[in-house]
Amino acid sequence: MSAPRPFAASTTTAFAPRGAASLSAWARVTQPIAALQDAATESHQMWQCVQPLLPVALLGGIRAGRWQDGVWSLTASSSAVAAKLSQFKPTLLQRLGAQGHAVRDIRIRVQPLPAQGVPVAADEPQNLCPPAVRTRLQELLHRSG
């Protein structure tokens, strides 16, 4: 039987530099996290660069995604948005190249946006009680009053 493994927390000290007070400070001194942060920053900058080229109605259905090895991923909220976005792909690649971004390809994937609930007005009371229970409670209130 092999010896028990050391407690996992003792191995994490190699990844957590001393004196890193915040996540951003920690990310700057930790290579894998710094690389992810740089890729996210680059993706955001590319998104800012191409937004003026896209129709306003299309922007709400697109999210900038992963940037890795010269390939930028964009997520479309539907297949219709993805089809329209793919028509803009040559224009986007040209603009990104002109701005100094070394993008070889843009990948478009479809992922529907999460469903959002119907907003409830602040002055409207939220009633979580089933109607039958609410009716019975009102009857009891009238009896006691």
- E strand residue ranges, 1-145: 62-68, 71-76, 105-110
Q: Is residue 70 part of a domain?
A: yes
Residue ranges making up the domain that contains 110:
22-47+58-114
In a domain, 10, yes or no: no
Looking at residue 54, what DSSP letter applies? Answer: S
Residue 95: inside a domain: yes
* Residue-level pLDDT at 42: 92
Report how far residue 144's alpha carbon sits from residue 45's, in angstroms, rounded to the nearest whole number. Answer: 65
Residue 103 counted as domain residue = yes
Residue 122 domain-assigned (yes or no): no
Q: What is the pLDDT along the chain (145 residues), one digit of tens a residue?
A: 555 555 444 444 445 555 556 666 666 667 777 788 888 899 999 999 999 999 999 999 999 999 899 999 999 999 999 999 999 999 999 999 999 999 999 999 999 877 666 555 555 555 666 788 778 878 888 876 6
Q: Is residue 119 part of a domain?
A: no
Q: What is the CATH number of the domain that holds 86?
A: 3.30.300
Task: Output the CA torsion sign for 73, 78, 79, 85.
Answer: negative
pLDDT of res. 125: 57
Examine residue 102 and state whether it is found in any structural domain, yes or no: yes
